[in-house]
Copies of this chain bind each other. A is one copy, B any other.
Amino acid sequence: MSLEQYTKTLLPEIEKELQAQVSRLDESHTRLFHEMLSYHMGWTGEGAGREAAGKRIRPLMLLLATASFEGDWRLALPAAAAVELVHNFSLVHDDVQDNSAKRRGRPTVWKKWGIPMAINAGDALFVISNQAIMDLSKLHPAQTVVRASTILFDTCLDLTRGQFMDMSYEERMDLTIDDYWPMVGGKTSALLSACPLLGALLGNASLEAQESYRNFGFHLGQAFQIQDDILGIWGDEAHTGKSATSDLVEGKNSLPILYALGKGGRFASRWNQGPIEAREVRSLAAQLEAEGARAFADEMSLKETEKALGFLEEANPGGSAGDAMLELANILLQRNQ
């Protein structure tokens, strides 16, 4: 099977599992609560559908990892739902924290139902992710469930760490690229690392292969985030679906920006004077590039990509699922091509 064929087979099963998990709230006293989660997941409300749901990359990676060790991916579905629910819990809270009005082209949960409800909806997605991972106990020995849950919860703490750093950086004037790696390691790479690791664990891969897959996911996450950072400043809006200028205007602590802040040149002095306005974006992006920030980010992206692919080779996934995993990684790593 090709990645496309896997995706066609797996995506409906992932959605079915996610809907079954979220249906825990589908009761008489909590209908609207259930609706909030269904809306965020992309199933209901105006604009519902594939676009609103997102790509489900994390559960796909997890299930491909299981299948690549000749494990039965059906037995990993609760874990696949769990990682997607964790991702979405963090998005719902992120949107409140960043004051973002839109997500995947639609009003965010807090924009529709207010901040208190959005906090609680995010909490519920998180709780249900925990319940989903415990559902593995119907399919796996208790020891495996304990190991999988421990991996997931450690990952979740990394997520809150990364989120803390990201938010605390907003008030700091002394940032350098050394502050970038732990933040992005928590915010992006931790969960992308947990996906192939959990998949390998549930596919009964050797500890060595699990470790290789963990490293593969981590560096894939790093490379993916760096590319996202590059696109956030120099990207094409048509390709990324979001305003290419937003990272400068939004004051995001992305790699090119932290690189230039560490250099302390013209870009850094402008940045430290206060918020960037839309009309400055074109010249500041050029200034960033002139100071070497784009070349540096390109280089780091390439390095992380090579590491990721090296670890994938080391994991040595088999069969068509292994090929599909490589294909998925290549798509993630070359989004703008």
Give the size of the chain A interface in residues (CB under 8 angstroms): 46
B127 near A146 with CB under 8 A, answer no
Name the residue in A93, A124, A130, A168 with the highest tally of chain B Cβ atoms < 10 Å from its Cβ: A130
A288 to B30, CA, bound (A): 29
A123 near B120 with CB under 8 A, answer no
A119 touching B93 in the complex, CB below 8 Å, given contacts A137-B146, A141-B142, A146-B137: yes
A117 near B160 with CB under 8 A, answer no
Mark A70-98 against chain B: 1 for CB-CB distance below 8 A, else 0. 00000000000000000000000100111
Name the residue in A24, A32, A97, A179 with the highest tally of chain B Cβ atoms < 10 Å from its Cβ: A97
Flag whether A20 is at the interface (Cβ < 8 A): no
A127 near B160 with CB under 8 A, answer yes
Chain B residues lying within 8 Å of A30, measured Cβ to Cβ, are 161, 164-165
A134 near B120 with CB under 8 A, answer no
Residue from the list B116, B124, B130, B146 in contact with A145, Cβ < 8 A: B146
Residue from the list B115, B128, B161, B167 in contact with A117, Cβ < 8 A: B167
Nearest residue (CB) in B for A116 is: B97
B165 near A153 with CB under 8 A, answer no
A119 to B126, CA, bound (A): 13
A124 near B160 with CB under 8 A, answer yes
Nearest residue (CB) in B for A135 is: B150
A164 near B128 with CB under 8 A, answer no
A93 near B115 with CB under 8 A, answer no
A38 to B160, CA, bound (A): 16
B130 near A153 with CB under 8 A, answer yes
Chain B residues lying within 8 Å of A97, measured Cβ to Cβ, are 115-116, 119-120
Nearest residue (CB) in B for A170 is: B116
Nearest residue (CB) in B for A141 is: B142
Chain B residues lying within 8 Å of A98, measured Cβ to Cβ, are 116
Shortest CB-to-CB span from A182 to chain B, Å, is 5
Shortest CB-to-CB span from A138 to chain B, Å, is 10
B116 near A157 with CB under 8 A, answer no
A141 to B142, CA, bound (A): 9
Shortest CB-to-CB span from A163 to chain B, Å, is 5
Nearest residue (CB) in B for A182 is: B29
Flag whether A198 is at the interface (Cβ < 8 A): no
Chain B residues lying within 8 Å of A32, measured Cβ to Cβ, are 164, 168
A130 to B146, CA, bound (A): 11
Mark A153-177 against chain B: 1 for CB-CB distance below 8 A, else 0. 1101101110111011000000000
Nearest residue (CB) in B for A99 is: B116
A134 near B149 with CB under 8 A, answer yes
Chain B residues lying within 8 Å of A328, measured Cβ to Cβ, are none
A153 to B85, CA, bound (A): 14
Mark A23-34 against chain B: 1 for CB-CB distance below 8 A, else 0. 011000110110
Flag whether A287 is at the interface (Cβ < 8 A): no
Q: Report which A residues bind B (CB closer than 8 A).
A: 24-25, 29-30, 32-33, 93, 96-98, 115-117, 119-120, 122-124, 126-128, 130-131, 134, 137, 141-143, 145-146, 149-150, 153-154, 156-157, 159-161, 163-165, 167-168, 179, 182
For the complex of A and B, list the 8 residue pairs with the smallest distance between their C-beta atoms, beginning with the closest.
A142-B142, A97-B116, A33-B164, A124-B160, A130-B153, A142-B143, A127-B156, A142-B146
